Amino acid sequence: MSEEAADAINHISKDENIRVLIITGAGRGFSSGIDVRQELARMTEGISGTMFERIIQGKPSILTIPLQLRRIDKPVIGAINGIATGAGFTIALACDLRIASERAQFSMAFILRGLIPDTGGTFFLPKLVGSAKACELIFTGEIINAKEAEQLGLVNKVVCQEELMKATEELANSLLKRSPVALKYAKRAIYKGLAETDLSSHLDYEASLNRICMDTEDFKEAVRAFMEKREPIFKGR
């Protein structure tokens, strides 16, 4: 399943007709992460073919998916339709935007299995909630509900279960009205800025990206539309 997901993300990243990626779960949950009975049990018994061996061999695994989601030059929206635990939680955090169903629950359950968070858990969570709250959630593995996640800034919005996909698609459709070029570079700038320590160099980076944007048809269309008092029609070039 991880390999199929990795292949799908690679395909989407290359398809110019796809401009927004929505990730949700099939069934009642978003993702419960690694299969404890199969994957983790194999590790305790020394059986080959585990996710760690796959990543060492350069093969796709659940450990590589968060990096793919951050590197894809398109907005990624997580529609959190139920439980998101372990790697399922961190994959949700790797999305750019998150809308949660009122039934959603979140847990950094790694500690309950004698592990630390992987798939970027210790990278994403402190940046979103601060180190103290991240320590609490990681050290305890406690479950938090959708409203608590919203209060902590882990999700952008909470809606009723029946409205989840409608609300997610409305957000996606609003992004479809924006310049794909500008969205691509805005995403790059945001995540580079999170790791940047020097404001001066980041200002230069922003300016360099805007120079690229100003050479596009989308920029010219945006200016024309503003002058003509109409909505711009962006084509991603």
Residue owning tokens 């996909």: 165
Specify the pLDDT at position 214: 96
Do 170 and 208 fall within a single domain?
A: no
Please state, in angstroms and rounded to a whole number, the distance separating the CA atoms of residues 203 and 199: 6
Residues 125-139, mean pLDDT to the nearest whole number: 96
Helix ranges, the chain (H): 2-14, 41-44, 51-56, 65-71, 87-94, 121-129, 131-140, 146-152, 164-176, 180-195, 199-214, 217-227
Does residue 26 sit within a domain? Answer: yes
pLDDT tens across 146-168, in order?
999 999 999 999 999 999 999 99
Least confident of 61-65, 106-110, 232-236: 61-65
The SS3 call for residue 89 is: helix
CATH number for the domain spanning 223: value is 1.10.12
Task: Examine the fold and report which residue of 145, 160, 176 is the final residue of a domain before the chain moves on.
Answer: 176
Mean pLDDT across 191-218: 95
Say yes or no: 189 and 168 in one domain.
no
pLDDT of residue 48: 52
Token pair for 97: 């935007």
- What tens digit of pLDDT does each residue of 11-42 get? 999 999 999 999 999 988 999 877 655 665 56
| Whole-number pLDDT of residue 3 | 84
Q: Are residues 38 and 109 in the same domain?
A: yes
Query: Would you say residue 15 lies in a domain?
Result: yes
Note whether 44 and 64 are same-domain residues. Answer: yes
Largest CA distance in the chain: 68
Q: Whole-prediction pTM value?
A: 0.89
153 and 194, same domain (yes or no): no
SS3 at position 23? strand
Residue 206 domain boundaries: 180-227
Residue 210 within any structural domain of the chain:
yes
Q: Other C-beta atoms within 10 Å of 24: how many?
A: 18
CA neighbor of 75 nearest in space, from 12, 133, 33, 136: 12
Asked whether residue 204 falls in the same domain as residue 90, the answer is: no
Residues 164-201 have pLDDT tens digits of 999 999 999 999 999 999 999 999 999 999 999 999 99
- Judge if 25 and 106 occupy the same domain: yes
Going by C-alpha positions, the residue among 27, 172, 34, 7 that lies closest to residue 90 is 34
Residues 88 and 161 in one domain: yes
For residues 166 and 187, state if they share a domain.
Answer: no
* Identity at 125, one-letter amino acid code: L
- Does the pLDDT of residue 104 top 80, yes or no? yes
pLDDT band at 113 (very low <50, low <70, confident <90, very high): confident
Quote the tokens at residue 186.
């805005």
In a domain, 232, yes or no: no
Average pLDDT (141-149) is 97
Q: Is 169 helix (H, G, I), strand (E, B) or coil?
A: helix
Kindly state whether residue 235 falls inside one of the protein's structural domains. no
Domain ends where: 155, 176, 197?
A: 176
Residues 6+ apart with CB under 8 A from 206: 189
Residue pointed to by tokens 């061999």: 57
Residue with tokens 């944007």: 213
At 151 the pLDDT is: 97
- Do 101 and 200 lie in one domain? The reply is no
Q: Which CATH number do you get for residue 17?
A: 3.90.226.10
Domain total in the chain: 2
| Per-residue pLDDT reduced to its tens digit, 39-90 | 655 666 655 555 555 555 566 667 889 999 999 999 999 999 999 999 999 9
- pLDDT at position 125, please? 96
Residue 237 domain-assigned (yes or no): no
Q: Report the b/e string of 100-129 with b at 16+ CB within 10 A.
A: bbebbbbbbbbbeeeeebbbbbbbbbbeeb
State the pLDDT confidence band at 2, using cuts at 50, 70 and 90: confident
Q: What is the pLDDT of residue 63?
A: 80
Does some domain include residue 86? yes
Q: Is residue 157 part of a domain?
A: yes
Residue 85 parent element (H or E): strand 83-85
Do 81 and 159 fall within a single domain? yes
Same domain, 15 and 50: yes
Task: Give the C-alpha separation, 110 to 62, whole Å.
Answer: 14
